[in-house]
Amino acid sequence: MRALSRLLLSLSIALPALGLSPLATTTPAHASGNGLAHTPPMGWNSWDTFGCNASEQIVKDTADFMASSGMRDAGYQYLTIDDCWMRRSRDAGGNLVPDPQKYPDGLAALAAYVHGKGLKFGVYESPTYHTCQGFPGSLGREQQDARTFATWGVDFLKYDNCLASDPSQRVGDERLPLQTRDGRMRDALAATGRPIVFSLSLQPAAQGETPWVWGKGVANMWRIDGDRDASFAGLTRLIHADLDKSRYAGPGAWNDIDMLETGNYASASQNPKQRLTYDQEKSELSAAAVLAAPLISGADLRTAAAAGSSGFPISQQDLSVYLNKEVIAVDQDSLGRQGTAVATANGLDVLRRPLAGGAVAVALFNETSAPATLSTTAAAVGLPVSKAGYALNDLWTHTSSVSADGTISATVPAGGTVLYRVTAHSGTTGSAR
């Protein structure tokens, strides 16, 4: 049966090379507006591990770790606190007020601490009257809240949209299209003069929204599907949901597959089956890189001492995944074109992403529970004909090989991915497409 599956996959991969099923092409989109996020944002968000229990000390400990562990220098720069950071009501002037128990020094001081570590600071709000957890939303207060964020030194705004799927249950301006409500905050942020990355977080399928269609005129990134958990199934669902949306992404405007769960043992602690294996963790970063997705960790990024006995601090193995600079370079590639599928069959996927300078990133992704051999060709992934062959650089083993005939193949472990950076040797004679 496995041999038959491999044969079917080989046939499906061969079709594009024969011209029977052309590869989808993309033209880089350029976001209008703030000129930020030329490459996908990288950083950390508090929600997946801490939920409403994030605090000033947790953010400081996380900033300390990111600055000292190599994460900051690898490109992870935004630290964002999610919902529940504020009081249940505004002050007499209508201003948002940080929860004094969780953030006793206030958010301006916390932002200054994060900035002092060479990092950037983000907060959460919503284009509704109340956030997902019932705290004051920004709807109707966009200009006031944007000025507050700018005054505090905020660099990143995650803008959620927890609304009933039935529009008849919404009140007032909540009935306005999401694009309109989000556009108000876009304009308010721009009016502050402070560069603030704008991230849309919502449940598009449940709410009938398609932010990837209109998002590049409003924000720098937008969620493409509902929340994911720390499971491998959650990862594969988001990958497949994103594969047909490449044409909407480009410099300054990115499809978001939700937070990275590598090292996220806290949310998975009650069910060990939810934890990603090491091979699955490598698949997560590989797929995100090929899909040009933001790299926002949802793990507990603190030292073991800071986390204490109740924490689940990141391991050195987890950290090594986050710090793979060659894979990060694919995600941050300056060409800004999101990858697409060459073939998907029986849980065996071949993905490709064109890179600046003519190289192509090729991911051989095995979703199944058993090792499998995946194969494709240089022609199928869009590389030009090269009489001198092709250089294959394995971005996880950091080894190189040469394919004389253009075959790109590997035996991939269960849940794993082999990620190559493939280039044609000198002596090209024309396009294979």
Instruction: Give catalytic residue positions.
Output: 160, 227
Query: How open is the CA angle 407-412-417, to the nearest 5 degrees?
Result: 95
Q: Give the integer Cα–Cα distance in Å for 262 and 319.
A: 9
* Cα–Cα distance list, 59 to 40, 55, 65, 266, 354 (Å): 22, 6, 10, 16, 36
* Cα–Cα distance list, 252 to 33, 97, 294 (Å): 9, 31, 11
Query: How open is the CA angle 9-337-319, to the nearest 5 degrees?
Result: 80
Q: Give the integer Cα–Cα distance in Å for 124 and 144.
A: 15
Whether 411 and 372 have beta carbons less than 8 Å apart is answered as yes
Supply 382's token pair.
């869009």
Q: 256 forms bridges with which residues in the sheet?
A: 223
Supply 55's token pair.
């605090």
Residue 373, helix vs strand vs coil:
strand
Kindly state the DSSP code that residue 22 receives in the 8-state scheme: P
Indicate the burial class of 431 (C-beta count within 10 angstroms; 0-12, 13-18, 19 or more).
exposed
Give first-to-last CA distance, the chain, whole Å: 32
What is the Rg, in whole angstroms, of the alpha carbon atoms belonging to the chain? Answer: 22
Segments in 208-273 forming alpha helices (H): 211-214, 232-242
Supply 277's token pair.
């294996």
Kindly state the DSSP code that residue 23 receives in the 8-state scheme: P
The DSSP string of 285-352 is HHHHHHTT--EEE-S--S-HHHH-TT--PPPHHHHHHHT-HHHHHHHT-TT----EEEEEETTEEEEE
